[in-house]
Amino acid sequence: MDERFALTGLRPAPPPPSVTLEKRERPPLWAVGLLGVIIWGCLFGGLFTPRDPGYMDLMNAARAPCGAYPFGTDTLGRDMFAMIWAGGRTSLAIGLLAAAISTAIALIYGAAAGLGPGWLDRMLMRLGEIFLSMPSLLTVLLLQAAMGRASVLSIALAVGATGWMSMAKVVRTEVRRLAGSEYVLASRAMGGGFFHVLRSHLAPDLMPSVLFMAVMAVRGAILTESTLSFMGMGLPLETVSWGSLLSQANTALTTGAWWIILIPGAFLVLTLLCLTELGSFLRRTGNKKESNL
């Protein structure tokens, strides 16, 4: 056939585009693994640390990391390796307890605003905005001073009682969206009470949004406790936490004991980074589920 001429008329249809399934969001495995190692060490660190974290060996004060002391000692001669895991238990306990308190308050407060009449919704939201406008750190200090001597429970209560406002606004918005659903209306029509509707019908749908903010609440509570301890207004000296270890920064800088700052700071930053990555993953997956509806 002459190459100067081309066929005209019907032509074969192009092949249909291949249908590819949407890739599922993969969790940050490095964050999950690293956070799991830190939590495991905090829970079971006492099994492989021969020294008491509160024992003061003044003959070995401010000793650099070596074979006997893998993380060195602080200015009081306490073993940093044992104190890291003991302090991690304290910081994680404060973070989890404070997050549980703030999540419970936010669920009840936001659901009451979302399911209640208009005047109750407006009153609760204006009250929440007043609390939200107050500096959180100053409010924690005020509550802590009112409760007296600082402890793990008192700091967790103070942080949890001041960190629920933003979460409550998200819960209120979601509850207002779900309040007109048929299963919620049917449950309320059959005499279902507030807590029954919240537990059985609203809580499962609120989990994607609340879980992300709960993880962020754990991160915020650990950071707040570390800030208070760094300022000298947190836990007492005999209670070890990552923040109380960082409170020795001034003495460590003047004596050249870099490990007293670097090692607790590294554990704190890595834990916060892992929690941030997990929170971002939960936020992305939650938004993707809502966009697919």
| Confidence check: pLDDT of 9 > 60 | no
pLDDT band at 92 (very low <50, low <70, confident <90, very high): very high
Q: Which residue has the higher pLDDT, 192 or 223?
A: 223
Q: 3-class SS at 233?
A: coil
Q: Cα separation of 184 and 64, whole Å?
A: 62
Mean pLDDT of 129-137: 85
Mean pLDDT of 109-136: 88
DSSP assigned state of 198: I
Q: Cα separation of 63 and 72, whole Å?
A: 5
Distances from the Cα of 183 to the Cα of 109, 114, 197, 281, 289, angstroms = 21, 16, 9, 30, 20
The crossing angle, in degrees rounded to 10, of helices 203-230 and 259-291 is 160
Residue type, 286: G
Closest CA to 126 of 168, 180, 175, 160: 168
| Confidence check: pLDDT of 22 > 60 | no
| Confidence check: pLDDT of 3 > 60 | no
pLDDT tens track for 276-290: 898 888 878 766 555
Mean pLDDT of 121-141: 87
Closest CA to 293 of 201, 197, 177: 177
Compute φ and ψ for 193, nearest 5 degrees. -75, 180
Cβ-based neighbour number of residue 44 at 10 Å? 11
Mean pLDDT of 163-168: 88
The alpha carbon dihedral of 133, 138, 139, 140 has a sign of positive
Q: Residue 235: what pLDDT?
A: 83
Summary mean pLDDT of the chain? 83
Contact (Cβ atoms closer than 8 angstroms) between residue 242 and residue 267 = yes
The crossing angle, in degrees rounded to 10, of helices 80-115 and 259-291 is 30
Q: Domain ranges for the chain, please list them.
A: 76-291
Q: Looking at the domain that runs over 76-291, which CATH code has it been given?
A: 1.10.3720.10
Compute φ and ψ for 223, nearest 5 degrees. -65, -40
pLDDT tens track for 29-65: 899 999 999 999 998 877 777 788 888 888 888 888 8
pLDDT tens track for 196-246: 888 888 888 888 778 888 888 998 899 888 888 877 788 887 788 888 888
Q: 3-class SS at 79?
A: strand
| Confidence check: pLDDT of 21 > 50 | no
